[in-house]
Chains A and B, each alone.
Chain A
Amino acid sequence: MMFGKYFRLISLAKGHWRTVVVMLVSVTALTGFRVLVPFLTGEAVSDIVAKSPVSSVAFLAVEIVAVSAASAAFSFGLSYGGQTLGQKLVYDLRNIIFNSIQSQSFSFYDRNETGQLMSRATGDVEAVRRFVAFGLGQLLSNAFLVGGVVVSLFYLNLRLAAIVSVVFPVILALSWKFSQTQGPFWRLTRKNYGTMNSVLQQNVTGARIVRSFTAEDGEASRFAAANQAYRDGIVGSSAVRAVYVPLLSLVISLAVAVLYYIGSGPVIAASRAGEPLIAASKLGELVAAASLLALLSGPSRFLGQLILIGQNGMAGFDRILEVTDAKAEVKDRPGAVQLGEVKGELRFEGVRFGYGSAGREVLKGVDLVIPPGQVAAFVGVSGSGKTTMANLIPRFYDATKGAVKIDGIDVRDVTLKSLRGSVGLVSQDIFLFSATIRENVCYGRTDAPQEEVENVCRLARADEFIDRFPERYETRVGERGVTLSGGQKQRIAIARTLLTDPRVLILDDSLSSVDAGTEYAIADAMEEVVKQRTTIIITQRLSTLRLAHRIVVFDGGNVVEDGTHEDLLALGGTYAKLYRSQYAPQEVSSEEVGP
């Protein structure tokens, strides 16, 4: 499991094997050249001590420069290759997480807060980026370097190597121990970060409410608590880090001291014995060995940082996998067919549905047939299941039991693309993009000609306010643009859906913020629109019902009444009560209203 995710991260590199080859070749050559320099240095020192002619030292000096130049070239290869690989992996990862979020089902967005998703797609990807772009190359070059240094030491002098090699297991053990302590800290830290993000998100979304209710102080302390928890987590991990990371440097330094002490024996013996040439060569070996060890001091200093980056990166990767591994609940089933020309008959057969696994049933076995071209109105009290019914048609959710059929075909048997292309739903909550009005209206059909755009805006009565903007359809809305009222947004949303000319049109309480006069005018204009399609109008306002051929009344997840306005009034049931509530409230008795 634990190595599984490393494997998955590495397997992302499959597509970039050329870069990987460049890195491997570079790191091999680089290590070779790097460990060569200490040998040359040692030899030079030995020559100097032996009072060899300056020319031989000069020759070694030139060699050092040449070898270093070669190693610099390969170091470029490794560093650039490593970063390239890192950037490409992160590029892939960003696309993967983005597309995965795009293809999730609505229930997924219900469960996952936008702030949390955002922090995964930015903060967590950034953590992985730091690891793969910077850490991966470092990790590779350090691993090779340690190997190269060990081999070189043994080649140089067995006795010195045997003594010094003790440090490697120690460093490894310390690093392992350290990385083990950091994992939980970083997972906690990422979680704390998410919490802080959520608190902030709500505060910003509810800015007016916070002010209305003078809750600024409470909000500040809520944020302060999350902020402090985040800080404490990181500082807590630093306490552990402060023990281990300096220890790694210390181990190398102690190894150098021991090396000099042990290595000095033969040099001293030779010097005392009056053998300057032997002393010179022994000293050369010692300096070479010390220089080899010195190659490790830089990496050991960064090892701690590297481990942190690695742990943080893997914790981030974990959280990314949670998103990308989430199975889309609503997706094309194998062999799903293209939905052809739609006539527009809608059929609900024993449809049951509840939000989430633990949620209560919102629909309790609904049977309903809406013939092509009909305008059906769904009415009923809040929470009676009207919106849920609508959401099942374009498969924003799938029924838990029963089937929703369009022209007799189960919606789960056709491709989402063809289904949603034929069903236009204007929802209660309007989301517009930070773009021009035109771009928003054309969202579902980017190539629509201007006349058609203007035509649908006229039908939705959006033209009257659009024309008042100096830049008309090119007016930017949202950030850095004009702020639209709720009613204006709803009208743009209606136009946006009409432009796609859907066979099935669903208006989910989408005129609630529009004033009565405008609503009346839209209803007038819609008379033409609804002729060519099957339409469902969900509404709280019975005044919009004049378009409807038929009224379906919902209560507690069931269809309780179904018929024309006159039929239902005569029935004297739920609809009649709703109707009287709106038009003749004085006739509704207090017993009916209840406590």
Chain B
Amino acid sequence: MYISDDDPDTRKDRRYSDGYLIRKLVGYVMGYRRDLAVTLGGLLSISAVGIVGPVLLGFAVDDMLAGNYEGVALLTGSYALLYVANYAADNRRTYAMQVVGQNSLRDIRRDAFDHLQRLSPSYFSSKETGRIMSYIMNDVDAVEDFVTFQLPQVLSGFLTIVSIVIIMLVFNIDLSLVSFTVIPTLVVTTLLFQGRISRSFVETRKKIAAVTAKLQEGISGVRVTQAFVSEDRVSENFDAVNSENMLANLRATKYTSAFNSIVQAIEAVGLALVLWYGATEVLAGRLLVGTIVTFMLYVNAFFNPIIQLTTFYNSFQSAVAGLDRVTQLVNTQVEVKEPADPVSIDPQADWGVELRGVTFGYSKGPPVLNDINLKVEPREVVAIVGATGAGKSSIVSLVQRFYDPQQGSVLVGGVDLKTLRFRDFRGRMSVVPQDPILFTASVADNIRYGRPGASIEEVKGVARALGVDDFISSLPDGYATMVAEGATNLSMGQKQLICFARALMRDPKVLILDEATSGLDPFTELKIQRSLGAMIKGRTAIMVAHRLSTIRLADRIVVLDHGRVVEEGTFDQLVSVPGGAFAEMYALQSKQA
């Protein structure tokens, strides 16, 4: 589910502190120092112009009153030039700021995706697709507004406020101090509101998470919903979270709108104070009128950034919430790690496969495999049979080292998998999975997925040898036919045939068939088996099946029951064991309709 912290039982507050997340973000941003320098330089220039501009105008007013025409011309001319010069800085800054921001976001996405490639399959079975996706898409998006817009705005606002305070004091201490009397009120108001605003935005983050979760569920389960005519109920449920989200947003809005209005009123008091005190000082002859004009402009410039603070808060909250989740992904420990100093293995040799005293269970669940010893000799074809839940698929996962056993070890070619680099053994193994997952690409590209460099002729060669060339050629665009998402334009059986070709395309040393023919009709299955007979020669093969029809190619059959090997032998040997597990299964399945 997308950002599915909707479940109140498991909803946790954020895992990392703001400080940690900001340091992470700074780390990314610092990768682009040059553009960052341009941005900061631009911001400085803008602040400086904001300070100098009002001074020039104030002097111009004084010159006007003094009847000094040249002075006014010079000052207004300088004012114009100042802003023209600032344009260059502003232009560079606007661009550089986006470069820094967008590059950082790209890097965060890249790092998250790259880390995702290292995570073990257990990670993917514990989380839904949409949820993992949201880490890299939505959560990174949440950082965008903050990095590329709000942060630079607030930085420049902060710079402006500090410099205005300093320049005011330098200019005229008395008038400054009078203007500053509004600051305590401002600070108190800000403190009163910001906590509330900040909390209300945290709330909106949670509510929107629930909305996205429901959306995701609604979209991925829509076929089921329609089949069970449950659209109304699903819509009602969605409406409920949707309106909760709206209400949370309205609450947040109420606070921000009120805060902004109050700040505007305080600003007016500041302006009034400058005018009133300025007037008394001018009358007393201690102040020039121009200074009042300058100060009026400063008051305006001082309050603008404070009003922006509210949108900054919102943006900050979503940014850290988003960062927190991306960071959770990037910080997820890789369960099955490659060894630091891998051993090498002869890629040309024939490999056997061995499970030595293996005990294995998923996370905290009960063991699925109990102290299993299983040795498949090089070039031997072994079938593993047994009921659902006997542990067959776990063996397939272990042989590819998707998981590590709790006890014992898995070896190929006599070498412990834990001492090998993934590509050194996975690169020479091929699996035809139970769930025939294909990618949105052409059929040809799907077949050469494990060997992207293969030519179309090689692809066709494999398909022909496997006897699936006819079927592929009969597709609308033949080998160039695009596989739709979820491969909805192919039947289950057709997908499995493509998976077979994909596996053989790599010319594997070890071939693993995991219930690979469950979607095939008996005739097609037989056809595949016959071509497979030739293709399997010279390879080590493990065939997992609960259908006994698929195991005729096997040299040896291993019967699993509740995580233990209960029988082992050739087809003929096992069938003739009176009351044997295999003999019973066989009898059951050969019962004719």
Contacts and interface: CB of A to CB of B under 8 A. Distances in A.
B426 A113 contact: no
Contacts of B66: 271
Interface string B201-231: 0000000000110011111111111111111
A118 B219 contact: yes
Given A238-B94, A239-B95, A267-B65, A37 B268 contact: yes
A196 B268 contact: no
Contacts of A424: 227
B110 to A, nearest CB: 6
A298 B226 CA distance: 51
Given A101-B222, A205-B129, A585-B552, A123 B76 contact: no
Interface stretch (A3-11, A147-155, A405-413, A513-521): A513-521
Contacts of A234: 98, 102
A201 B134 CA distance: 10
A338 interface: no
A67 B440 CA distance: 63
Contacts of B289: 45, 48-49, 283
Nearest to A301: B304
Contacts of B488: 109-110
| Most B-side CB within 10 Å, residue of A197, A271, A298 | A271
A170 to B, nearest CB: 14
Given A61-B272, A238-B94, A209 B437 contact: yes
A188 interface: no
A51 interface: yes
A41 B275 contact: yes
A431 B129 CA distance: 13
B174 interface: no
Q: Which of B68, B117, B141 has the most CB of A within 10 A?
A: B117
Main secondary structure of the interface of A (DSSP, over half): helix
A245 B525 CA distance: 66
Interface in B156-171: none
B264 interface: yes
B402 A208 contact: yes
Interface in B442-470: 449-450, 452, 464, 467, 470
B193 interface: no
B4 interface: yes
A172 interface: no
Nearest to A219: B117
A336 B356 CA distance: 66
A91 to B, nearest CB: 4
Contact of A75 (B129, B250, B264, B439): B264
A261 B526 contact: no
A80 B449 contact: no
A264 interface: yes
A80 to B, nearest CB: 4
Interface in A290-317: 290-291, 294, 298, 305
B549 interface: yes
A545 interface: yes
Contacts of B231: 99, 102-103
B59 to A, nearest CB: 11
A427 B485 CA distance: 17
B44 interface: no
Given A241-B94, A246-B91, A253-B53, A215 B521 contact: no
A227 B524 contact: no
B576 interface: no
Nearest to B213: A434
Interface residues of A, number: 186
B138 interface: yes
Interface in B78-130: 79-80, 83-84, 86-87, 90-95, 98-99, 102-103, 105-106, 109-110, 113-114, 116-119, 121, 123-130
A368 B275 CA distance: 93
B235 A102 contact: yes
A204 B136 CA distance: 11
Contacts, number: 508
A427 B71 CA distance: 86
Given A64-B272, A513-B434, A431 B221 contact: yes
Contact of B222 (A44, A109, A193, A578): A109
A87 B110 contact: no
A247 B94 contact: no
A346 interface: no
Interface in A71-98: 71-73, 75-76, 79-80, 83-84, 87-88, 90-91, 94-95, 98
Given A84-B250, A242-B95, A512-B519, A565 B593 contact: yes
A72 B242 contact: no
A578 B522 contact: yes
B269 A65 contact: yes
A475 interface: no
B190 interface: no
A228 B138 CA distance: 17
Given A48-B289, A83-B250, 9 more contacts: A75-B260, A83-B257, A84-B250, A91-B243, A91-B246, A260-B72, A286-B64, A294-B297, A356-B489
25 contacts: A48-B282, A48-B289, A49-B289, A65-B265, A80-B254, A83-B256, A99-B235, A101-B218, A110-B489, A114-B486, A211-B400, A227-B109, A231-B102, A246-B87, A264-B63, A271-B65, A305-B149, A417-B229, A427-B223, A431-B220, A444-B228, A486-B435, A488-B388, A518-B387, A545-B593
5 cross-chain pairs, A with B, having the tightest CB-CB distances, nearest first: A382-B493, A68-B268, A246-B90, A238-B98, A444-B228
